Amino acid sequence: MIVRLAAPAMLLALALSECTPASDMGDDLGVQQTSDAVATASAGAEADGGARDIKVENDLYSFQYSYPAAVGAVPELAQLLDARAREGEQGLAKLAKQARQDARENGFPYNAYSQNTEWKVIGRTPEWISLVADVSSYSGGAHGIYGIDPVLWDRDAKRTVQPLTLFTSPDALYDAVEERFCKKLDAERAKRRGPTEEASEAADNPTVDEFDQCPPMSDLAIEVKAKGKVFDTIVMYAGPYVAGPYVEGAYEIPVPVDVAVREAVKPEYRKAFGG
């Protein structure tokens, strides 16, 4: 899942993509093909079932990738995320090498690229493990970019799926949460922005700035959380430039699961939402 950003984001897109085990990329990257840290983490996933905290830093790039012990305890899931780590570092190295070469050819300094992925478990039910990765990257410019990668691990099928696939459609989910989400989003924006003349004028102006509107479902990501054995909260995530300017940061608006949300869930998955 790619969270909408104002500028091209190749590194973030790479980090958020559904990765499969990487094939050999050759030795022409100018750095070790796969760092010892990543290789060790991958090899150890089945052996000890522990957490991973991979850190690689050199003149070309900085790469960090982690997940908790709860993920390492599921061998197939750990293998998948280890494969993502390998592919993520290799892709970062390739982009960074090209950027450094371009910088040298054009006579300007090269600032090392970076990519950081931190996986967290945000819910567990008998059928699912809900995870989300906080992903950030830097590839030059005034500031880095960031977003999230939410996934669900199907315990029986031993595969990942996107949270939205549990619902009859994105529109059905949005219809179920829109009123509550938009109201909470406006309240949070008001806290961050404070009272302004512009906000007062916008209330009387039919032409509302895009950062005062409620974003459509297509611009949002969702996290599915559980405190107990069923999913009880949908978090609507609006990344930078979606619900406000970059300086305001991302908006994460929790919406409790209710009857309307359960009705938007596909019948075969409603048990996981307490239905």
Which pLDDT band, with edges at 50, 70 and 90, does 8 fall under?
very low
Quick check: 60 and 113 in contact, CB under 8 A?
Answer: yes
Element (H, E) at 203: helix 197-203
In 215-266, beta strands by DSSP E:
221-225, 233-238, 251-256
Most confident of 40-44, 114-118, 196-200: 114-118
User: What's the pLDDT tens digit per position in 76-95?
Assistant: 999 999 999 999 999 999 99
Give me the torsion for CA of 102, 240, 152, 77, rounded to 10°: 30
Among the listed residues 116, 161, 123, the one whose alpha carbon sits nearest the alpha carbon of residue 254: 123
State the CATH class of domain 10-161.
alpha beta
User: What's the pLDDT tens digit per position in 49-78?
Assistant: 699 999 999 999 999 999 999 999 999 999
| φ, ψ (nearest 5 deg) of residue 21 | -50, 135
Helix 75-106, helix 36-48: angle, nearest 10: 170
pLDDT at 262: 98
Element (H, E) at 52: strand 52-57
Each domain of the chain, given as residue ranges in start order, spans 10-161, 165-273
Work out the percent of the chain whose per-residue pLDDT is above 70: 77
pLDDT at 252: 98
Higher pLDDT, 6 or 221: 221
What distances in angstroms separate CA 179 from CA 61, 143, 163, 184, 186, one per listed residue?
Answer: 43, 33, 20, 9, 11
What is the three-class DSSP state of 99? helix
- How much is the average pLDDT of 234-240? 97
Write the burial class of residue 27 (CB in 10 Å: 0-12 exposed, 13-18 middle, 19+ buried). exposed
pLDDT at 84: 96
- How much is the average pLDDT of 118-147? 94
pLDDT at 140: 84
Higher pLDDT, 15 or 43: 15
Say if residue 203's pLDDT is above 70. no
Among the listed residues 45, 44, 23, the one whose alpha carbon sits nearest the alpha carbon of residue 90: 23
pLDDT at 11: 56
